[in-house]
Each structure stands twice: as structure tokens, then as C-alpha cells.
Amino acid sequence: MTDSLVLLSGFLAAAVRVATPLLLAATGETVTERAGVMNLGLEGIMLGGALAATLGATAAGPWAGLAVAVLVGMLLAALFAAVAIGARADQIIAGTALTLGAVGLTGTIYRQAYGIGGAGLALPTLAPLPIPGLSQIPLLGPALFDQPMPTYLALLALPLVWWVLFRTRTGLALRATGEGAAMARAAGVRTGLVRTVATVVGGGFAGLAGASLVLAQVGTFAERMTAGRGYVAIAIVVLGRWHPLGVAVASLLFGAATALQYVFQSLGLDVPYQLFLMLPYGLTLLALAGAVGRARAPADLGKA
Amino acid sequence: MAARTPLLAILLGLAVLAGGLQLAGYDAAAALTSLWRGAFGSWYAFSSATLVRAVPLIVVGLGIALAFRGGALNIGAEGQFYAGAIAATWVGLHVAGRPAVVAVTAVLVAALLAGAAWVLVPIWLKLRFGVLEVISTLLLNFVAESLVSLVVQGPLQEAQGIYPQSDPIAEVARLPLLPGTRLHAGLALALIGAAALWYVVARTLWGFRLSAVGAGPRAAEISGRIDARRVTAVALLGSGAVAGLAGGIEVSGVSYALFQNLSPGYGFTAIAVALLARLHPLGVVAAGMLFGALEAGAGAMQREAGVPAVTVYVVEAVVIMVVLLADTGARRAVGARVAA
């Protein structure tokens, strides 16, 4: 391979790696929002998942870390659901409070568990699992078929979520709840239950997203390490027009915009790195301006 | 129940904190004592820790209350705060030799304008393309943080070019301090701002329009012949300006310089402040002081009892959740009574 091909291949692999946690969280949030619930606590749930993965992996290996993270994600989402759906409180406020609480709780527990030294070196992580044959495909092979487990889980979840949302009665009930809860109730759908389940499923995905950040990307936990990724995932859901396929494209777009900085760094261009940090957010805004005009949010999104 | 619920919520929040700390093996009594001492233990602690910490929370909280009242969810106050701080620093570095009144005014006006400018993009995206302001204001927070990082390693970096921060702003550009304390005149500005916002919201026609749009833009347009889009846009603009002003006050009254992490998340905590105050301007002052006290006390708790300062975020979360649930319950009870 020539140098530029190596560079491009590395760029694509980095884009997918960066996109994975976003894709996981955004896929889950798509399910949640299709049922009419906007969970701004996603940021806090990802953070909780990240810490749970760290604790679980330290105690019993990376797989246990993944499982514990999903459970904690579901638990935190259930807490949000109890307040925002059960008690019909304002979703934006409840989500903000959950994130605030998660920042405090994870910071405290992390320091309590690991002291000043941090989890760092002792943490077992998930190495890339090359799929024999497929990972040898030039260019796309390393990006799609030589990644750690969470990336595969994210890619497998996409068609599954699409199928459930658009090809099953459950999915129909879920979308009906998001578009018009009153009508859905009249038609016999138990909308409270549907929204709660959709929120808890979304929480599981967000927990997994946090785990993938720790175990497959960064390799350690740090306070506030999600750094807004949960919020970005919510933007990605809007950008992807509440559709799994759109969400996948939007996540990759964001991942690519982030990965671009590695390319420019290796090319040795003399451009302030902060411009590249801004790039994904700027592009997302531009894309939202272009995409949203033709898309429509679920009609009952955010309504109690 | 107006004032009782928040008080109950605080007690519950502190009880959760004490229980959690005891479970985790800390000395809860010692921790709470430190928390109290750090916030109210002395005149210096109250004036120079609690009140200094409360000022940005109150000012940003007022901006958020303004936006939320009009139904505009401005989650981007953190970014607007930084935009204001950048502008204030730039002006503050260039006003040496001017009269203090002129210098301070210039710094604060620059911050106000920068905050308003920062929110123009979300306003335009909302009006032109229908992009949700929740998303656009949020995304611009990250852009603003990178922008701060860029300017403190570029055009605004200190003269020696070593540290990622600006030089201190001119003496004349600094807000006056209360003698013997670190409390600056920004508190007066915050209180005047709260009174002004209360007057606008409660006593003017525009304030009525704002609340009508916040309660239901369609209804406001149809029955009140109100241009809801315009009202929302003005509310967002004012909100951004006020958050920017808070950034200017912080630079001119506390830090005297620009650096990354100037704000420990004021833009987000202030959302909680505004919500806890139920978007009432005078309530924002009380809630801002409460959270200021909690965060000032948290510093002392970490120093003296070894309890991580971030634990107070748990208290804040519990307080919001309790008030939220109590309010929702009360609203439902009223609704049930009306229905019956």
C-alpha cells in the first residue's frame, strides 16, 4: 500500500472507533425518543456506565465490565423513568438533575475506590478482534472488521433496532406512543409501560456506550470523561432524523470529523489543533441546518 | 408551600449526603461541620467563598430563567459565559490608563455583546431551519471551550508565552472589592439584574407576552396575537447576553485573567438554580446563594474532611428531583381539584 492509502485506512479505522460510543448511545436514544421521551440524562448514564465498566472490569475482567455497565445504565434510566414518566415530571429538568447527580456520584465513588492513583494500568481492556478474512479487505477491513467487541455490538444492534421499530407490533406501539400518546392509549397501548421500557433500553445502550469508551477507546476512567458525548449523541439522533440508518451515518460523520485531526497532525500541517476540536461540532450544526428542514421529531416528544 | 418545599429538599439532600458518607466510611458529622464552616463559618467564608461563588450562578441563572420562561431551552449558557469572558479579557487588556468607570463599563458591555453574539447562531438556526435550540446551544458550548483554549495559547496568551492563560487585565478594568474580602461589586449587579428581570416579567406587557409564549406558543399567537417566534428570539438573545455578562463579571471581579476551566460548570449548575427557583428572578437569588454555599462548603469539606468536593453535585441533584416531584405532585393535585 502507498502512504496515502495507509493514512486513509487509519483515518477510517479511527473514525469508526470514535463513532462507536456515540453510535451506541444514539441508537438507544433513538428508541427512547421514538417513544416520545427525551433523556438529557444520557450524559450522566454514559458516565455511570463508564465507571461501572471500570469497576466491573477490574473485579472480573472486561466482559463483566460490559455487563455491569449495561445493568447500571438500565438502572439509572429506570430512575429517570420513575421521575419523568411515572411521576410525569419535566423530562428536561429530570435529565439535567440525573446528569448532575451522576457527575457527583461517579467522581466520589471513583476516588473512594481508586484513590489518587486512578484505575489506569490495572484495568483490563478489550483488544481489537480481527474477523478472519474480512479484516484483510483493503481500506474498509481494518475500519469495520478489526475493531473491539463494542463496535460489532453497535453494528449488530442497528438492523435489530430498525427491525423492532419498523417491522413489529411492539415497534408500532412504540412509535404510536411517540407520535400521539393520547391516541395510542385510546387504541389500547399501555403508553406508560412502553415509554418506560424504551427509556430503560436506551439506558442500557448508554451504559454500554460508556463501557466502550473506557474499555475499547480510552483505557481508563477519568472524572467527567464523557465530556459531552451523551449530549452529542442526542444531537446525532436529531441529525439522523430518528432513524437507525440516519443515526449510523450521523455518528460516522461525527467520528470522521473528529478523526480528521489525527490525519492533519500526521501530515504536519501548522494549524491550531483547537480548530479540529471545534470541527465536529461545527459540522453537526451545519448538517442539522441542512437536515432538519425535511425531518420531523416525534410529535409527542418531551410531553408528559 | 412556596418556600417550604425547597427547604425540605435541601434537608433531604443533606441527609442523603450524610447517609452516603457514613456508608462510605467517612465521618459524616465532621464532613457536614466542615461544609457549614466553609459556607457560613465566618464573615470571610460567607462573603469571599459563598457569595463570590453565588454571583455567577445568580447572573447566569437569571439568563436561563429569562429564556426558559419564554419556552426557549438555552442549555448553552456555559458557552455564552466563555464568549463573554473572552471579550472581557480582550477589552480588559487594552484599557490601561482610562478612568476606571469607563474601563469597567467597556469590559462588561463587551461581555454582554459577546454573549448575545454567541447565541445569534442558535437563534438564526431555529428561525430559519427549525433546529432545536436545546441542541444548537449545547453544541456551541464545546466550540466555546475550544475557542478559549485557542485564544489562551494564541492571541491572548501571556507575554512570556509559557502558560496557557492571559495576562492579568488592567487594574482599572477590575470591579471594586468590599474591603477585607474578595467580594466584588458583581453581587450588586446580580441583585439589580434580578430586580430588573422581576420587574420586566411581572410588571410589563412584554413580560406577559413572554409567559404566554412559554405557556403555549400556538395559543399565544392565536388568542393573544403575539409574534411568538419574535418573543422567543428576544428571550434567547437576552439570555445569551446575561450569561455573557456573567463571564465578564467573573473576569473583572474574580480571576482577572482568562484560562481554561474558568467556569466549573456554572452554565449547567445555573440551570438547576433557575429551575429550583421555579424561574422566579428573586428565587434565583436565593437558589444561587444556596448552591454557592454548597459549593463553597464543598471546598472546605474536601480540605478538612477529605471528602471529594464533587459529592455536592449529588446534593444538588437530590434537591432538584425533590422540588420537581413536589411541584409535579402539587400541579396534579390542583388539576384534580379543578377537574372535580
Q: What is the pLDDT of residue A304?
A: 63
Distance from the Cα of A72 to chain B's closest Cα (Å) equals: 17
Sign of CA dihedral B304, B310, B311, B316: positive
Closest residue in chain A to residue B146, using alpha carbons only: A274
Tell me the DSSP string of A177-245: HHH-HHHHHHTT--HHHHHHHHHHHHHHHHHHHHHHIIIIIISS--TTTTTTHHHHHHHHHHHTTT-HH
Q: Do the Cβ atoms of A289 and B125 come within 8 Å? A: yes
Interface test with A, best of B138, B261, B332 (most A CBs within 10 A): B138
Q: Do the Cβ atoms of B128 and A289 come within 8 Å? A: yes
Cell of B224: 393573544
Residues sharing a CB contact under 8 Å with residue B131, sequence separation 6 or more, in sequence order: A238, A285, A288, A289, A292, B122, B125
Domain ranges, ordered by start, for chain B: 44-177+189-324
- pLDDT per residue over A50-97, tens digit each? 999 999 999 999 999 999 999 999 999 999 999 999 998 888 889 988
Q: Do the Cβ atoms of B315 and A104 come within 8 Å? A: yes
Q: Do the Cβ atoms of B268 and A108 come within 8 Å? A: no
Q: Do the Cβ atoms of A231 and B138 come within 8 Å? A: yes
Residue A54: how many CB atoms within 10 A of its CB?
30
Q: Do the Cβ atoms of A235 and B138 come within 8 Å? A: yes
Q: Do the Cβ atoms of A281 and B269 come within 8 Å? A: no
Q: What is the pLDDT of residue B24?
A: 82
Nearest CB to B130 within list A97, A107, A293: A293
Q: Do the Cβ atoms of B317 and A101 come within 8 Å? A: yes
Question: Of the CATH numbers 1.10.3470, 3.30.70, 1.25.40, 1.20.120, which one belongs to the domain with range A8-124+148-292?
Answer: 1.10.3470
Closest residue in chain B to residue A273, using alpha carbons only: B150
Would the pLDDT of B109 be above 50?
Answer: yes
Nearest CB to A288 within list B136, B268, B313: B136
Distance from the Cα of B24 to chain A's closest Cα (Å) equals: 8
- pLDDT per residue over B222-280, tens digit each? 877 888 889 999 999 999 999 999 999 999 999 999 999 999 889 988 988 998 888 99
> In this structure, what are the phi and psi dihedrals at residue A129, rounded to the nearest 5 degrees?
-110, 95
Cell of A83: 421521575
Mean pLDDT across chain B: 91
Closest residue in chain B to residue A101, using alpha carbons only: B314
Q: Round to whole Å and give the CA distance between B42 and B49.
A: 10
Q: Do the Cβ atoms of B329 and A87 come within 8 Å? A: yes
Nearest CB to B139 within list A101, A281, A292: A281
- B44-177+189-324: CATH topology is ABC transporter involved in vitamin B12 uptake, BtuC (1.10.3470)
pLDDT tens, residue order, chain A (304 aa): 567 777 888 889 889 999 999 999 999 999 999 999 999 999 999 999 999 999 999 999 999 999 999 999 999 999 999 999 999 888 888 998 899 899 999 998 988 888 766 666 578 888 888 888 888 887 777 888 888 999 999 999 999 999 999 999 999 999 999 999 999 999 999 999 999 999 999 999 999 999 999 999 888 898 889 988 998 999 899 889 999 999 999 999 999 988 888 777 777 777 888 888 898 888 888 888 876 555 678 888 877 6
pTM here?
0.90
**Contact (Cβ atoms closer than 8 angstroms) between residue A39 and residue A74:** no
**Contact (Cβ atoms closer than 8 angstroms) between residue B239 and residue B254:** no
Distance from the Cα of B179 to chain A's closest Cα (Å) equals: 35
Residue B333's pLDDT band (cuts 50, 70, 90): confident
Q: Do the Cβ atoms of B139 and A232 come within 8 Å? A: yes
Nearest CB to A96 within list B272, B308, B312: B272
